[in-house]
Amino acid sequence: MIRFVPFYVTLLILLGLSGAVIAEHHAKSPQDKNPTSKEMKTKITKAFYAKLTGDWKGSYSLWLRPGTPARKSDINANFQPAARGNYLLMTYTWEDGGEAQEGVFLLGGHGNVATATWGDSFHMAPAPMQCKGELEAGGNKLVVKGSYSAGEGPDWGWRTEFTREGPNSLLMEAYNIMPNGVEGLAVQAELKRVIKEKN
């Protein structure tokens, strides 16, 4: 995990992947003879995503190894619907050692099942990580898992959790998972919704 690639290269890859997924979705849609059933299947994840829409900011902590001090910075994030509301696009920025970093999630899914494509300028290269998971905790927590090559040996796992701790409070955590199952907290972002004052 983990070489640096320009953020916009990662974004172009994500957009290409999302286009392929959308095309596949439309190819299958004529076979869906029950729109009401389809709407019910997508309702749960879309309801969760809708609650995240908007701007957020907070604190960002990064652990390169378990037991070492966290590298801290501010984080700014934005969630917005994408592809006519079929996905949720998250973009975020933070710093490490004074160097600006950027990340992006493309979230989708139906029912309790969720999908995610993740890439950023610090961890992921040369391609984004594909993740799959589900909603937990009564629909207030999204957990998605993926994997990456660490060179020689088996792939390592990566789990990202989004937990709504209230209407204006979001906790994003990511765990690095060794091939033997031992895991450690790698990223923690404590976010608060940016509430714009009404004129």
The CATH code of domain 7-27+53-193 reads 2.40.128.20
State the pLDDT at residue 128.
94
- CA dihedral (47, 79, 2, 63) positive or negative: negative
Q: How many Å apart are CA 44 and CA 112, to the nearest integer?
A: 6
State the pLDDT at residue 123.
87
Q: How many Å apart are CA 30 and CA 27, to the nearest integer?
A: 7
State the pLDDT at residue 29.
41
Q: What pTM, to 2 d.p., does this model score?
A: 0.78
Q: What are the structural domain ranges in the chain?
A: 7-27+53-193
Mean pLDDT, consecutive 10-residue segments, the chain of 199 residues? 38 39 40 44 80 97 91 97 94 95 95 94 87 93 94 93 97 96 96 88
* SS3 per-residue string spanning 5-56: CCHHHHHHHHHHHHHHHHHHHHHHHHHCCCHHHHHHHHHHHHHHHHCCCEEE
Residues paired with residue 156 on neighbouring β-strands, in sequence order: 148
> Residue 107: what residue type?
L
Q: How many CA atoms lie within 13 A of 81 on its CB side?
A: 10
